[in-house]
Amino acid sequence: MNITSDLLRSGLQRRASMARMDGRVVLMAAALLAGCGTSLNRAPVEDRTAARGATTAPTGAATPATASDVPGKPLPGVENLGKPGFYAIKPGDTLIRVALENGQSWRDIARWNNIDNPNVLEVGQVLRVVPPGVDASAAAARAVTVAKVDTRPLDAKPLNGAASAPAAVLTANPTSTATPTAPPAAVPAPVAAATPPPAPPAAPRDADDDVAWAWPSTAAVAAPFDEGRNKGLVFTGKPGDPVLAAADGRVVYAGSGLRGFGNLVIVKHNNSYLTTYAHNQTLLVKEDQAVRRGQRIAEMGSSDAERVQLHFEIRRLGKPIDPARLLPQR
């Protein structure tokens, strides 16, 4: 009986051992199969989805990124380097400043150059700064034309030469009684003064120059235009004094992203002219808003300035000109 039990127990143990071995084999096979399944090299997935930030105004505080570190990767737009109507980004540039210096809206420049994030620019990147299809060479050659005032005296004679020439007719004395004598010596005929050549025709006036300007503030002018030190007019006043649009136009920037200008409004009046209103306390307009001449667009303040003031510029094709040459007399 004991022998039979021992044999039976031994057989059961042998079967259990074989079952365990079979289980190990199954597990090992499964592990091998799993290892074969994971040994395939998966391509890494890189999320290249960029945030579309072109609808948000650039802050201006971010320094443009340096050139790409990818060897052989050309900078955007480098094929247009040196061409009229294009601008190469320099260290410290921002999209707002590039737009201001070229008389454009930063949104337009972003759209023309397919810029998704206006806060990221690469040094050496070349941007289009004139609308596609515009002859950039002709636009750059357009001189600043300002209406000239004729300051000649009211009694001045016209410059056509006819009235200014001396009279060429001698008047005879009707009361003289000539005594027959020897014929008088021949009097040489007076030589008429040479008529000056006609003045050359005036250059055709650019339609963009026909802007009805108004003063942006009733405050006193504290500093006139100086091309080297002050690219506009500075008005001093009290906090909250009204700042007025100098002409009809559309707001292309309203914010504080341009260093040195504080709370700034930029209004574009046509393809040639825009105006800037800096150091405001409060901005009363927003981007893409149409404004009318004389409309209150901001309140005077001292943002990014040492005193309460309005710094006002008129720019033609992005270049500052003396506002006093265009504004009406007070």
Asked whether residue 223 carries a pLDDT value surpassing 50, the answer given is yes
Q: How many CA atoms lie within 13 A of 184 on its CB side?
A: 5
Report pLDDT digits (tens) over 122-134.
Answer: 999 999 999 998 8
pLDDT at residue number 177? 46
Average pLDDT, stretch 191-220? 78
- 243, 276, 280, 291, 305 from 309: Cα distances, Å: 10, 13, 8, 22, 8
Q: What is the pLDDT of residues 298-315, one digit of tens each?
A: 999 999 999 999 999 999
**Binning pLDDT at 50, 70 and 90, where does residue 330 land?**
confident
Q: Which of 198, 195, 202 has the alpha carbon at shortest distance from 163? A: 195
> What pLDDT score was predicted for residue 206?
72
Please spell the DSSP secondary structure of 182-240, one letter per residue.
SPPPPPPPPPPPPPPPPPPPPPPPPGGG------S-SSEEEE--BTTTBSSEEEE--TT
* First-to-final CA distance of the chain: 133
Domain ranges of the chain: 78-140, 211-325
Q: What's the pLDDT tens digit per position in 271-290?
A: 999 999 999 999 999 999 99
Q: Determine the average pLDDT of the residues in 33-52.
A: 37
The pair of three-digit structure tokens given for residue 184, joined into one six-digit string: 């008088």
Give the pLDDT of residue 110. 95
Q: Which residue has the higher pLDDT, 8 or 9?
A: 9
pLDDT(146) > 70: no
> Measuring CA to CA, which residue among 316, 270, 322 is closest to residue 140?
316
pLDDT of residue 73: 78
pLDDT at 207: 82
Asked if CATH classification 3.40.50.720 holds for the domain at 78-140, the reply, yes or no, is no
81 contacts: CB under 8 Å, gap ≥ 6: 88, 126
Answer yes or no: are the C-beta atoms of 58 and 94 closer than 8 Å: yes
If one compares 52 and 316, the residue with the highest pLDDT of the two is: 316
Q: Which CATH superfamily is domain 211-325 in?
A: Glucose Permease (Domain IIA) (2.70.70.10)
Output the pLDDT for position 70: 58
Instruction: Give the other-Cβ count within 10 Å of 131's Cβ.
Output: 15
Structure tokens at 220: 């006193």
Each residue's pLDDT tens digit, 10-36 = 555 665 555 455 555 444 444 444 444
- Residue 20: CB atoms within 10 A of its CB come to 10
pLDDT category of residue 181 using cuts at 50, 70 and 90: low
Q: Judge if 78-140 and 211-325 fold alike in CATH terms.
A: no
pLDDT at 37 over 50: no
Quick one: pLDDT at residue 150?
Answer: 37
Output 157 or 288, whichever has higher pLDDT: 288
